[in-house]
């Protein structure tokens, strides 16, 4: 991931804070700060499909986040001090989680459409849609995954072969 040309060429990067059953992203986050890039993480809004990407100030900043009912660390609902990526310069790259992927770039998420809805918002931003890379285990690559009309394909899926 860290040697990937799209990562190397990106300054504003969104990355998920991994759950135990996902590709672990802690080392990616550390490298983002080490290279002086800007790091954004998701904040999901409950009872909706709305998600924002909020800026982290440092690796240590993760310890200030709150745990949601889904066991995901994210900025508190009333935290209005953080920059939202689309309120500023947009994003260059988004690392995306998922439950399953196919080689056409279709992604099976957790069913709420958070990333699809967010990418639709990105497409309306002056900087346009960021490049998207899904991080997966080889076992998550399927022949095909079910897709809906509003599902946005990922640009690339990285997994160990």
Q: Is 121 annotated as a binding residue?
A: no
Q: Is 113 annotated as a binding residue?
A: yes
Q: Is 159 annotated as a binding residue?
A: no
Q: Is 65 annotated as a binding residue?
A: no
Q: Is 118 annotated as a binding residue?
A: no
Residues 30 and 45: their CA atoms lie apart, in Å, by 26
In this structure, are residues 36 and 103 in contact, taking their beta carbons and an 8 Å threshold?
A: no
Q: Is 9 annotated as a binding residue?
A: no
Q: Is 27 annotated as a binding residue?
A: no
Alpha-carbon separation of residue 87 from 11, 55, 91 (angstroms): 16, 11, 10
Q: Is 34 annotated as a binding residue?
A: no
Contacts of 111 (CB under 8 A, 6+ apart): none
Collapsed DSSP state (helix, strand, coil) of residue 139: helix
Residues 156 and 158: their CA atoms lie apart, in Å, by 7
Q: What per-residue string of b and e applies to 47-63 under the rule 16 or more CB within 10 Å gives b?
A: eeeebbbbbbeeeebee
Q: Is 135 annotated as a binding residue?
A: no
Q: Residue ranges for the binding site? A: 17, 22, 107-115
Q: Residues annotated in the binding site for ATP, as ranges?
A: 107-115
- As annotated, the binding site for substrate includes 17, 22
């Amino acid at each position: 991931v860290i040697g990937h040309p799209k990562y190397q060429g990106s300054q504003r990067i969104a990355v998920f804070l991994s759950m135990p059953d996902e590709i672990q992203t802690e080392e990616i986050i550390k490298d983002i700060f080490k290279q002086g890039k800007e790091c954004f993480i998701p904040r999901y809004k409950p009872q909706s499909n709305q998600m924002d990407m909020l800026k982290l100030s440092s690796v240590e900043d993760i310890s200030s986040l709150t745990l949601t009912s889904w066991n995901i660390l994210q900025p508190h609902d009333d935290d209005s001090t953080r920059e939202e990526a689309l309120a500023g310069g947009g994003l260059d790259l988004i690392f995306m989680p998922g439950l399953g992927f196919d080689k056409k770039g279709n992604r099976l998420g957790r069913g709420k459409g958070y990333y699809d809805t967010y990418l639709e918002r990105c497409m309306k931003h002056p900087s346009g849609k960021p490049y998207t890379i899904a991080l997966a285990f080889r076992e998550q690559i399927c022949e095909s995954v079910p897709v809906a009309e509003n599902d946005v394909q990922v640009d690339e899926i990285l997994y160990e072969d």
